[in-house]
Chain A
Amino acid sequence: GAVVSQHPSWVICKSGTSVKIECRSLDFQATTMFWYRQFPKQSLMLMATSNEGSKATYEQGVEKDKFLINHASLTLSTLTVTSAHPEDSSFYICSARGFRGRALDNEQFFGPGTRLTVL
């Protein structure tokens, strides 16, 4: 399989601050990256889809000004939670789809997730 990393793995911040989460594809080129949010004991909820070099497409109900997504290269996407509040506390997971010589069979590869706690 292909490897996706996330950084940081956990972060604690004060209310009102901004937090940036990085998602990297380590051994393949990610043409598309996805950002999910997972609440405790619940499923993953797709927040947005980003294609390299273009603006992200946000799912209904997700505030694009609050969750800023940048996908400037084929190996890196970032999610910035702006002016974070306690209700933004969650587990954020990215996944990537792309190619390594050839298309990786349209499969998504998931990062390990980032636990955000806003005090």
Chain B
Amino acid sequence: GNSVTQMEGPVTLSEEAFLTINCTYTATGYPSLFWYVQYPGEGLQLLLKATKADDKGSNKGFEATYRKETTSFHLEKGSVQVSDSAVYFCALPLTFGSGTQLTVLP
């Protein structure tokens, strides 16, 4: 079956640091890939997505590229802000990774 493996947290960074959260997947075919963000006390929000190989999803300074050859969809941001503190989930359409807690310190 499908599965998603993402980097375990928690991750703590200083403001303006570079962020990478690794994500790899196992799936049949070539499904869409997603990153969701969950702020404290809120539901999940779609952060970005990619629908086919080599697509790059981007939003709010975050990027992730659909790498078919490495079955990966790593999330990156060049300069994180305190407001980026949240839990990030990598996902296939109905299968989610375990989530990575990110805390950004001022």
Contacts and interface: CB of A to CB of B under 8 A. Distances in A.
Interface of A: 1, 4, 6, 34, 41-44, 46, 49, 93, 95, 106-113
A16 to B, nearest CB: 28
Contacts of B97: 43
Interface of B: 32, 36, 42-46, 49, 89, 93-99, 101
B32 to A, nearest CB: 7
B44 A43 contact: no
A23 to B, nearest CB: 11
A95 B89 CA distance: 15
Given A6-B43, A43-B99, 18 more contacts: A1-B46, A42-B99, A43-B96, A44-B89, A44-B96, A93-B44, A95-B44, A106-B32, A106-B93, A107-B49, A108-B46, A108-B93, A110-B36, A110-B43, A110-B44, A110-B45, A111-B43, A112-B43
A113 B46 contact: no
A36 B44 CA distance: 11
Contact of B42 (A106, A108, A112): A112
A112 B40 CA distance: 11
A110 B91 CA distance: 14
Contacts of B32: 106
A93 B43 contact: yes
Contacts of A1: 46
